[in-house]
């Protein structure tokens, strides 16, 4: 598990950009954290790291937005509104998760059962005592070494 602290949106963006530069085909990133914690900011950096120049926003209403102009295809999910797995089947998530692109899933906790074991979990947490722009970001693989949620 890796723990990173950021103190501005730019810093979170740069972390995403670095991971985007290093991304490999087939990777899946599960992003979790409260509304406004920075999941989309991270994704915007990640997209930039892949060489995507189009604007990236949360696909809250469409659930999935794919970008094909970068080094690898990027499949950006926002599954906040997902209520059952059939909806994921309908949008063809399997072609994204098990294809040659990279998938980033905002609110991944909603579709936990669909995530393969090699999924990289990125959890972003605020800590108001440490300031408005402070974020604690943990990166871990699989469930067993996830931080304690209590
Ligand atoms: P989410 O997608 O998780 O709902 P967004 O990425 O859309 O959240 O929004 C995050 C908001 O928090 C932005 O307005 C951003 O400017 C702000 N922010 C402040 N500090 C940080 C930080 N350290 N990292 C990321 N975003 C931050
Ligand atoms: Mg978002």
Report pLDDT for 60: 81
Ligand 1 contact, 125 CB (< 6 A): no
Report pLDDT for 8: 98
Domain residue spans of the chain: 2-143
Structure tokens at 150: 């209590």
Ligand 1 contact, 104 CB (< 6 A): no
Q: Which atom of ligand 1 lies closest to the CA of 42? A: 6
The domain 2-143 having CATH identifier 3.40.50.300: the answer here is: yes
Report pLDDT for 61: 84
Ligand 1 contact, 38 CB (< 6 A): yes
Span from the CA of 39 to the centroid of ligand 1 (angstroms): 7
What is the tens place of the pLDDT at every residue in 51-104?
999 999 988 888 999 999 999 999 999 999 998 999 999 999 999 999 999 999
pTM score, two decimals?
0.94
Instruction: Check if the beta carbon of residue 68 is closer than 8 Å to that of residue 96.
Output: no
What is the tens place of the pLDDT at every residue in 111-146?
999 999 999 999 999 999 999 999 999 999 975 555
What is the tens place of the pLDDT at every residue in 5-58?
999 999 999 999 999 999 999 999 999 999 999 999 999 999 999 999 999 998
């Amino acid at each position: 598990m890796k723990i990173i602290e950021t103190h501005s949106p730019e810093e979170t963006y740069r972390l995403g950009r670095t991971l985007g530069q290093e991304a490999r085909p087939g990777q899946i990133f599960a992003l979790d954290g409260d509304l406004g914690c920075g999941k989309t900011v991270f994704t915007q950096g990640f997209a930039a790291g892949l060489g995507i120049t189009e604007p990236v926003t949360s696909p809250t209403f469409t659930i999935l937005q794919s970008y094909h102009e970068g080094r690898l295809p990027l499949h950006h999910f926002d599954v906040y509104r997902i209520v059952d797995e059939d909806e994921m089947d309908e949008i063809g998530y399997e072609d994204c998760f098990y294809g040659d692109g990279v998938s980033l899933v905002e609110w991944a906790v909603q579709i936990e059962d669909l995530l393969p074991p090699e999924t990289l979990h990125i959890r972003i947490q605020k800590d108001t005592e440490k300031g408005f722009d402070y974020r604690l970001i943990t990166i871990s693989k699989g469930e067993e070494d996830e931080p304690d949620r209590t």
